[in-house]
Amino acid sequence: MKKILVACGAGVVTSTIAIQKLQEELDKRGVPKDEYKIDQASIPEVPSMADNYDLVITTTQYTNPNGKPVTNGLPFLTNIGLDQTMDEIIKHLDLKPTK
């Protein structure tokens, strides 16, 4: 089970949109739902939470002080470069798309 944390400035608006889109894209690729879990946070919460996650996605520019790689989640809002971002996420988490 891979754990994904999606964060934005306030942990309210853009992370909600990004999670919805990420979920849709994972479904579209046929990644089984029991392979991953997605949680939501605000940026200020990320440093204390990041160690418990395999991947952190933020919709705003952010460098994780813990040194864990952070994926730019802007493509989930704009669709620009979304397929590439999804490929990277799937590869990074070693998920198994069936479609």
Partner 1 sequence: MGLINEHLVFPDQQFADNEAALRFLAGKLNAAGKVHDDFFDAVWAREQKFPTGLPAGKINVAIPHADAKYVKESAIAVATLAQPIPFHNMAVTDQEIPVSLIMMLAIHEPHGQVQVLQNVMALFQDEQHLAQLLQEHDAHALFTDLDKTLGAISLDR
Q: Applying CB under 8 A, which residues contact partner 1?
A: 8-10, 12-14, 16-17, 20-21, 43, 59-61, 72, 74, 77-80
48 is a catalytic site residue: no
- Nearest residue (CB) to partner 1, 21 versus 89: 21
Minimum distance from residue 94 beta carbon to partner 1 (Å) = 26
Minimum distance from residue 96 beta carbon to partner 1 (Å) = 27
CA distances from 22 to 14, 48, 49, 57, 69 (A): 12, 23, 20, 10, 18
Q: Which of 5, 7, 8, 43 is catalytic?
A: 8
Asked if residue 57 lies in contact with residue 49, where contact means CB atoms within 8 angstroms, the answer is no
Using CA of residue 90, residue 16, residue 24, residue 59, what is the dihedral sign?
Answer: negative
Active site residues: 8
